[in-house]
Structure 1
């Protein structure tokens, strides 16, 4: 299962994504957490101190390794240098599973031990650095995440949870179509709802499963506002949490001490995500992957690589078939 958390900056999407990751880990469900936000705070929200969070390897720095591994023996890809963020897998490509060890995870993923003894693996795109200022686009950094998601075969009982960049910036790449469920975290404000409406409009033609999680809801008036504005898209709401406040102070309690209402909200998110697996459409997933690859190839990829990137598309390749055939490796 691939799950995205999106929303306006400051809406609490990183906090909500970290709580959802903790919920899955507490149930001993395999989960990989990915921080794809320009503001890298997911590791801290999962309990790492500033030094440990800053020492996490950036996926963008390992892009050459990622490309070389995923390319495998695919004859349609002449070299790792001709791969771009949208390059789709084909016959001979190496695929990723959540419950396995591989060179990509060895280079980019690190374990995080949570307070209740559960653990997750975290991967981060890496923050903007001084050398990036004025010369780099942040979306070039999340290309490594998109490439990995395009090569991932995952089942219902395993999760990748991605904390996406804020607002409509998620639409600067095709990555917004890579998820079984997108949870949009919205505050009960006009700005929060404006981001929801914009996201829904942009995603409308791509079959994106979108549900709204109301955050910072303080009473019936806030709830009524979100219901009026989001309608049936409003899935659940979350209010004040002393547990979260303690965690943000660096004094986390055991996860089972989270308030019952908030634990129930996380169960609702889990059930909704799980139900979305029944609607997974591998054919649409593949079609969208190819659509964005051809679009990027024509726009800039062919010129940058000096290759005809349309030739990388393998029309006979099916991720769904590979999911059925590949046996998960032990972690």
Structure 2
């Protein structure tokens, strides 16, 4: 399953993304797991336990490598340079799984705190005034477009804060999005804005309350977000220790907060995969990007990169339209 953590800046989404990833990784039967930091503020590595001087190779700095590998021998794609961040897979594309050996993972994925981590990379000095951060995040969108996952396999993505997530089609690449919400008017405002966009695209959203201190906080969240409230994380000495650089074993997390993580995992596992919709969303956003700017840049119609008969599924086989309905 693929999941994203979103919310207001400072709501604790990075902390919860790391906590959820560590919860998955420390299972007695650890799943295939990949965590990705797609936030402009690159703090997921530190939240997982990396030291302040740790340096990680950035997906955004190796977009050519990612494109060349994923392109494979897809005849619809003239070359890696012709691929957009939204280019969907087709016959001949290389389809990746979560924990296989491939050139992308070999170079750009690093174990941190028991979790395999990839990062988009920070907004660099050379980007100022000339680049958009979402060009870096595009590496994640392209990777997820070409990724299959099955039961017991997880991708956990820490997204950019607030509505910035909607600057690309990346927000549609997840089975369930966890929106981290503090019991405050400002945080609820971000929730309202997010779901207003997300539900127009069939994106599943579950609210996880954070920094909840008492029954009044829970009542406030229930009043504001209704049935979207899945669970909540209370004030935590475990989390406070992590924020101060002392990363305790996940087994020492407070019982109520551990129960919340289990509820989140159960909700994610309970989502029904819809590979046909996944392909349709990818084609939609690729068409939007191609017609808005990609065709002009390439001097060609990049919408022809869309293979109308190709749909991903865990076996990475092609599903024909008549077969899609049967699944």
Measured against the shorter chain, the TM-score band is: over 0.9
CA deviation map 1:62-81 (0-9, x unaligned):
10010000000000000000
Tell me the CA shift for residue 258 of structure 1. Answer: 0.7
Change in 2 beyond 3 A, CA 1:310/1:324: closer
How far apart are the structure 2 equivalents of 1:169 and 1:254? 33
CA deviation map 1:205-230 (0-9, x unaligned):
21111000000111111111000000
Change in 2 beyond 3 A, CA 1:324/1:312: closer
Corresponding residue for 1:294?
287
How far apart are the structure 1 equivalents of 2:87 and 2:36? 20
Tell me the CA shift for residue 99 of structure 1. Answer: 2.4
CA contact (8 A) 2:34 2:99 kept: no
The ranges of structure 1 where at least 4 consecutive aligned residues each deviate by more than 6 angstroms after the TM superposition are none
* Range moving further from structure 2, 120-129 or 249-258: 249-258
CA contact (8 A) 2:148 2:314 kept: no
How far apart are the structure 1 equivalents of 2:109 and 2:231? 31
Q: 1:226 aligns with which of 218, 221, 228?
A: 221
Corresponding residue for 1:173?
168
SS of alignment partner, residue 117 of structure 2: strand
How far apart are the structure 2 equivalents of 1:306 and 1:123? 33
Tell me the CA shift for residue 172 of structure 1. Answer: 0.5
SS of alignment partner, residue 31 of structure 1: strand
Corresponding residue for 1:24?
24
Structure 2 residue ranges without an equivalent (≥5): 319-327
Corresponding residue for 1:329?
none
How far apart are the structure 2 equivalents of 1:127 and 1:60? 9
Tell me the CA shift for residue 240 of structure 1. Answer: 0.8
SS of alignment partner, residue 313 of structure 2: helix
**TM-score, length-normalised on structure 2?**
0.95
Structure 1 residue ranges without an equivalent (≥5): 326-331
The answer to whether residue 285 in structure 2 is matched with residue 283 in structure 1 is no
SS of alignment partner, residue 248 of structure 2: coil
Corresponding residue for 2:139?
144
* Range moving further from structure 2, 35-44 or 251-260: 251-260
Change in 2 beyond 3 A, CA 1:263/1:57: same
How far apart are the structure 1 equivalents of 2:298 and 2:175? 31
CA contact (8 A) 1:5 1:13 kept: yes
CA contact (8 A) 1:24 1:30 kept: no
The answer to whether residue 262 in structure 2 is matched with residue 267 in structure 1 is yes
How far apart are the structure 1 equivalents of 2:17 and 2:263? 14
CA deviation map 1:298-317 (0-9, x unaligned):
00001112221011011111
How many residues align structurally? 316
SS of alignment partner, residue 11 of structure 1: coil
What are the equivalent positions in structure 2 for 1:15-94 lying under 5 Å apart? 15-27=15-27, 28-52=30-54, 55-94=55-94
**TM-score, length-normalised on structure 1?**
0.94
Tell me the CA shift for residue 184 of structure 1. Answer: 0.1
Corresponding residue for 1:250?
245
Tell me the CA shift for residue 322 of structure 1. Answer: 3.8
SS of alignment partner, residue 290 of structure 1: helix
Q: 2:301 aligns with which of 285, 295, 308?
A: 308
